Structure 1
Amino acid sequence: MKLLDSIVTEAASIVAVRRDIHAHPELCFEEVRTADLVAAKLTEWGIPVHRGMGTTGVVGIVKNGTSSRAVGLRADMDALPMQEYNTFAHASKHPGKMHACGHDGHVAMLLAAARHFAKNRNFDGTVYLIFQPAEEGGGGAREMIKDGLFEQFPMEAVFGMHNWPGGAVGTFAVSPGPVMASTAEFKLTIRGKGGHGAMPHLGIDPVPVACQVVQAFQTIVSRNTKPIDAAVISVTMIHAGEATNVIPDSCELQGTVRTFSTEVQDMIARRMQQVAEHTCAAHEARCEFEFHRNYPPTVNSKAEAEFARGVMASIVGEQNVREQEPTMGAEDFAFMLEAKPGAYCFISNGDGSHREFGHGPGPCVIHNPSYDFNDDLIPLGATYWVRLAEEWLAKARA
């Protein structure tokens, strides 16, 4: 690997910052301490900052030369509402909150790049360092955009990166096209007529109706969606009844829908409502259907994904840059990619063997209470950020 010496030299101090953030996790739009820390470090290194965008967002502004060209690098800052199982020294000090997705490491990698930029500005133009709040369900990227991110800080392209457990440290993955899914939530309330469980003919039982609806929803994926268009409908909650001998008045279903295109998502929403309404009507029941779109699909633009791949290959070798297998997980960097060209890549977090004594019993996968970010990634991720920005600003304008 061709790592930048200045980043390797300072790695230990950035690791300490990462572990401090891990020990003090903050949920979406509550990242006050984290934002304070980021802003303080950037200011200490002589990098101007803009604060408050998207509530707690921080933007560092690194300028050099006379060019008006600019590129954005983004890291997310928020933690998850879950209890950490790890007991090592930097485990969460806040019950019910944990950096179980590695956003502490994402902040650390971008800070390490910022520290290098503070002393080595080998580019002509501007690098915007975007520290974004509320990726975990809050749509912080959308809120920063609403607050004028791309108007106040005009940039040609924007890039994001997420750690990905399982692959060997020293490998990346990036590809053009959809790489993460859209996410939507649905709620279906089926209304029947309650009664005695021993006399079902006198009521309208919503429970068997719900069972038929759940089964029918799966035919939308298998029979209405093109076989080459991946989609998921998962009913994850069913609530009905209070007593074993009472037919309930209503039954509530909730769940999630994931797709790689807005068109497929729209079709699924329409068909789900039709299936629900007509199945209920067949049983003389009524229903109310709600469909809430959260994040759009994360779609890498072709030129930017290929550019990022070239930068990665120059650092770790072409053989260590994999095709990015799309995942049905969702990511609010999608909003930025709707507004600007760019690419969202994965940096491999290893198999979990980096974890110290005191880690929990579970696997080191994201959203797991035994997860921990691999600090060996910090020099590599930061080197990628630096080389990406330098080479972007050096290339001919398209």
Structure 2
Amino acid sequence: MTLCTSTLGQWAINERRYLHQYPELSGQEYQTASYIRKWLQECQIELIDCEAPSVVGLLRGTDGRKTIALRADIDALPVTEEGEKPYLSKNPGVAHVCGHDGHTAILLAAAKWLSENRAEVKPNVLFLFQSSEEMLPSGAEALVRQGVMEDVDAVFGLHLWQPLEKGKIGISTGAMMASSDDVRIVITGRGGHGSMPHETIDPIYVAGQVIAAVQGIVSRRVNPIEPAVISICRMEAGTTYNIIPNQAILYGTLRAQSEKTRRLLAAELKQTIEALCEAWGAKGEVIVDWGTPPVVNDKAMSEYVATVVASHWGGEVLTHVEPVMGGEDFSYYLERKPGSFIFVGMGGEKSSFPHHHPRFDIDEDVIPTSTELLIQLVKHFS
């Protein structure tokens, strides 16, 4: 039986469109948080103290011996949105181009249904409307540190996923998404005139050697069956065409799907760069800004999701998704409690641009299904 009626589904879509127009960056979601708190209070859901701007609500179940947590991320990105849709962002340079507005609306709609049908809700339900998924410091890590997960038995979250075919619900057991760490490489040489490079220690030349060499870490130092990525994505060096600078700075990202490989990448990067720079008379410094751990789903909880999906929509809706190298701070919840992160497919004509693209948009057809999924996960949890 479908619990998310067309009325509730449209309510969620309307909420999503409102939220879409007023996006806020990570750590700055105070207007969004105020809006969420208002709705939770109207639903008579208890507000739990937590560090703003995250919002946590608790609905006490009829049994209450177990607690299930449901999470939505609420932050937007520093992107100028493009397109003609009537609900375009009203905040210049900020836009919901990843789907978090949809996640928030879906969890609000699930909270609304569960609060209106309390007699059918056996477990306690913790609603996590989490700040700062897109940028560090992580909002998930902060909530875990504040102890909101202490009495939780299982945690679930979903992501509306453009790369996955619309109509599919994707799960994985084990590693599903990668760790995400930022790296800064500072190469200090000795500048001089561009016509006399022999009198300098050229940090730009050394940087070129570094960029080539770090790819050997993945191909020659990491086990070939272990997914790993090192990407250098930005370089700063020099001020004009005929002066060799003193310094070059490279910026990049490290990705891995196991903690062991994550630590290996950082250690090998430091060793390789320091030695290479020294060979050319330069100094190399590697600064790793540790980000989010890998997202590793609990096998039993993913099997529980699969059972709920198959029994409610049929086995053809369910699909296994291969791990991706994107990062997600939902990993912090999974480090503390068993749970599962779920992809809801929406790829197709209505959602053809990738996540973080200025013209990205949600296929709103999947919002009712996503709301129904969260409700069913709660109703069948025991």
User: TM (normalized to structure 1)?
Assistant: 0.92
Say which is worse superposed, 116-125 or 174-183, in terms of deviation: 116-125
Match for residue 388 of structure 1? 377
User: Could you say which residue in structure 2 is the equivalent of 1:133?
Assistant: 131
Among residues 308, 313, 317, which one is paired with 1:316 in the alignment? 313
Distance 1:347 1:310 in 2: 16
Aligned counterpart in structure 2 of residue 367 of structure 1, from 333, 356, 362 = 356
Counterpart pick for 2:41 among 40, 43, 55: 43
Q: Secondary structure, in 3 states, of the residue corresponding to 1:91?
A: coil
Question: 1:103 aligned to 2:100?
Answer: yes
Deviations 1:255-282 (A, max 9, x none): 1111101111111111111111111111
Tell me the secondary structure at the aligned position of residue 343 of structure 1.
strand
C-alpha distance in structure 1 between counterparts of 2:74 and 2:51, whole Å: 12
Contact 1:171 1:320 in 2 (8 A): yes
How far does residue 308 in structure 1 lie from its aligned partner after superposition? 0.8
- Distance, in Å, in 1 between the alignment partners of 2:23 and 2:321 is 29
Question: Displacement of 1:170 after TM fit?
Answer: 2.4
Q: Which residue number in structure 1 is paired with residue 8 of structure 2?
A: 10
- Contact kept? 2:114, 2:121, Cα under 8 Å: no
Q: How much does 1:50 deviate? A: 2.4
Alpha-carbon distance, 1:232 to partner: 0.5
| Matching residue of 1:20 | 18
Match of 2:263 in 1: 266
Match 2:111 to one of 114, 130, 133: 114
Per-residue deviation at 1:19? 0.5
Where does residue 357 of structure 1 map in the other structure? Answer: none
SS at match of 2:37: helix
Within a 5 Å distance, the mapping from 1:184-333 to structure 2 comes to: 184-333=181-330
The aligned amino acid for 2:318 is V
Count the aligned residue pairs.
380
CA distance in structure 1 between the aligned counterparts of 2:181 and 2:64, rounded to whole angstroms: 41
Does the residue aligned with 1:111 lie in a helix, a strand or coil? helix
In structure 2, list runs of 5 or more residues that go unmatched. Answer: none
Instruction: Please say if residues 187 and 253 of structure 1, whose CA atoms lie closer than 8 Å, have aligned partners that are also in contact.
Output: yes
Alpha-carbon distance, 1:16 to partner? 1.3
Q: Supply the distance in 1 between the matched residues of 2:214 and 2:51 (Cα, whole angstroms).
A: 36
SS of residue matched to 1:329: strand
Shift of 1:108: 1.1
Listed one character per residue, the Cα deviations across residues 178-218 of structure 1 (whole Å, up to 9, x for unaligned) are 11100111111111111122222222112221111111100
8 Å contact from structure 1 (residues 168, 348) kept in 2: yes
Match of 1:377 in 2: 366
Among 180, 183, 206, which residue is 1:183 paired with?
180
